[in-house]
Structure formats: structure tokens, C-alpha cells
Structure 1
Amino acid sequence: MSDVFDLQLFISVFITLFVIMDPPGTVPIFLGLTGAMTRAQRNRAARQAILVAFGVIVSFAVFGQQLLSYMHISLAALQASGGLLLLVVAMELLTGKMEEPQPSGNAKVNVALVPLGTPLLAGPGAIVATMVFVKQADRTTVDDWVAIALGVVAVHVCLYLAMRFANVVHRVLKDSGTILVTRIAGLLLAAIAVQLVADAVQAFIESA
């Protein structure tokens, strides 16, 4: 088994991405973004968000460094843009705009894709971390690649389970409790967004 699987690297990838993507912490934000949806719609949104997040992570793992180099974009710039987008989402959670029902003819972006799939799940932190693991991987053997792939898959399974059973949390909290949790999630998300921007500014200064 050790010939095709690096257990230590798998654990490192899994723990790192689990902490960054934070499956338990996505539950209140997921409930806030899907508060106006039915149970079936919420389950579908969870599946879509996981597929989008997984696709983004894998794409950046394989092509990320080449893409950023081609477009002359630094990792700090990617992090800053993600932070600003998260800040906009946080403001909508705090003001209750996410809970307003949308007219059937409205072509508003599906929240399962943006901002849930990216940048909430597949955000700058997760993208950068995955790119670093891939960059450090031993390209002459399959051990590292299998470990990284399994680590990414395992974290996304945890994310799906957390959102899939968010309905249970919703039934316990009821509508009023969900609104309260949504406001708290918006506040925490705003803090995360500001921290991302601050880290990006610090990276810009250090690279100057």
C-alpha cells in the first residue's frame, strides 16, 4: 500500500484543507445563503456547491500556477480579490438580503455556484494550499499524487455531509434561530474577509 499511497502526506493535506475549508463552519453560512429555499432545493445546492468547489480546486491544482503566471497574477492578488468578494457576501448576510425571495424571472447568479462553491468553499486559502502541495509533490512517483487527490476528495466528502445535514440544524433552530445564526455568520465572514485582504496587503509589502 505504501508503494502507491503516502499516508503522512494524505493526513497533512486533509487536515490543512479541513481547517481552511471548515466543514462545520460552513453550516450557518450555508443556511443563511439558502434560507429561502425548500429542503430539496437546499440539497441540490449542496451538491452543486461541492461539485463547483471540487472542480475549482482540481483545476487550480493542475493548471493554477501556469494560469497565474500567464496572466501575471500573484497569489496575493488572488487572495485579496477573494477577500473583497467575501466581504460583499458578508454584508448581504448581515443586512438580510440573502433571505429575500427572488422573482421567478430573475436571472440572479445561483448562490450554490457563487459565492458558496467559490470563493466560500474553494477560496484563496484552499486554492493556494493545494497549489503548494502539488508544487512540493514528487513528480517521479504516484505516491504523492494519490495522497493529495484522496486528501482533497475526503475533505469535500466532509463538506457535503455538513451541508447535507444542515436541514437537521434548520429544523432545530427554526426560522428565527436560523436568522440569528445567519447574522453571526455574516459577522464572522466579514472578519475572515478583512483578514484575507490584510494578509494579501502584507504579502504585497513583503514582496515589494
Structure 2
Amino acid sequence: MDPPGTVPVFLSLVGRKPPAARARAARQAVLVSLLVVSLFAVAGQAILAYLGIGIPALQGAGGLLLLLIALDLLTGKGGTEPETAEDVNVALVPLGTPLLAGPGAIAATIVFVREAHGRLGAYVALGLAIVTVHLVLWACMRYSGVVIRVIRESGITLLAKIAGLLLAAIAVQLVADSVQGFITGA
């Protein structure tokens, strides 16, 4: 999870919306991410085992989903849809998941829970870390309006293209890690 790194993607998706809509999208995205990461912290290993899914499959699916979103940002199709349904959808997908609560964050959470080995202090530290990173994520996205005032409309368009390129690279890396995970049996 990269709080400052989410600002360009956040602005490319909701930068043209009114401040109230941006604040709502930031809140919804962080709550969705917190819910997803917390769910996987508590029951992630059991969920993956029940579904017969490994971490490489999770990485591959997240990478493909991010690639679709990156292509929308790069081609400019992301901002042409009606705003009514987009407010909620953008906060849930791609912001809440897979951008904030993506395969990397989910896998790391599952690994850290495994390494805690029933130690209460380790669980408390992990819980505090999850909450803290989500508070920082919210603050970065919530107060990104300052960036909008500086870069204006043309800057948002440029930021959308750069964010799309970076998301595409992240997506390709996730898919490559997935393939490597399948090959090595991780």
C-alpha cells in the first residue's frame, strides 16, 4: 500500500468531480479497503484454502483487473461515463480494491498473520498497522484537492495518462509475479 502513490490514480479517476464527491469516494475506498484487508487478516488463509486459490492466482486476477483500468485511463474512456453510477463504482473498484486492498496487500497480510504464531502482541501490532495505513490513505486522498488547484484540468489529464501507464506497469508486474509463483510452486 502506497498512500502518496495513490493520489495520482485517485485524482485521475475523481479529480473532475466536486469536492464532496471526492471526499465521499476517498471515504468509501478506504472503508472498502479496510474491510477487505481486515477480512483477509482474520480469515484469509481459510478463504483461499476453501476456494482452492493460491496467492499466485490472486496476483494474476488483480493484475488483469488493474490492466483493464489502466487501459481505460490511457485511452481516456474512464472519464466519459455518466457520473451517477461512477461515484460508487470508482470507490469500490478500482480504488478500494484492487488498488488499495490489492493482491500484494492481501498476500502480505496473510503472511504477517501466519508469522504472528498466536502471539497477541503481534496481532495487535498488525491491527494497528492496518488501521494506521488506512488513516494515512484517507488523508492523502481526502486532501488531494490541493493538488487539483495547482495542476488544473490539463494537469489532471496528464496525471491520468501517467497513472494509467504506472498502473499498467504494476499490472504487468503482478501478472509476471503470478506466473513466476505458478512456476516455482509458491
TM category, shorter: over 0.9
Note if 1:75 corresponds to 2:42: no
Letter in 2 for 1:205: I
Gaps of 5+ in 2: none
Note if 1:33 corresponds to 2:13: yes
Give 1:108 deviation, angstroms. 8.6
- Counterparts of 2:184 and 2:80 in 1: how far apart (Å)? 42
- Counterparts of 1:64 and 1:108 in 2: how far apart (Å)? 28
Note if 1:123 corresponds to 2:105: no
Give 1:107 deviation, angstroms. 7.7
User: Partner residue of 1:13?
Assistant: none
User: Partner residue of 1:9?
Assistant: none
1:52, 1:117 within 8 Å by CA — same for their partners in 2? yes
TM-score by length of 2: 0.95
What are the equivalent positions in structure 2 for 1:51-130 lying under 5 Å apart?
A: 51-102=31-82, 104=84, 110-130=89-109
Note if 1:50 corresponds to 2:21: no
Give 1:83 deviation, angstroms. 0.2
- Counterparts of 1:146 and 1:153 in 2: how far apart (Å)? 11
User: How large is the RMSD of aligned CA atoms in angstroms?
Assistant: 1.6
Q: Identity, % of aligned pairs?
A: 58
In structure 2, the CA distance between the partners of 1:108 and 1:47, relative to structure 1 (3 Å rule), is closer
Structure (1/2) with the larger helix percentage:
2
Gaps of 5+ in 1: 1-20
Letter in 2 for 1:177: G
Task: Report Cα offsets for 1:42-67 as digits up to 9, x if no partner.
Answer: 00000000000000000011111101
- 2:16 match: secondary structure: coil
Letter in 1 for 2:102: G
- Counterparts of 1:207 and 1:22 in 2: how far apart (Å)? 28
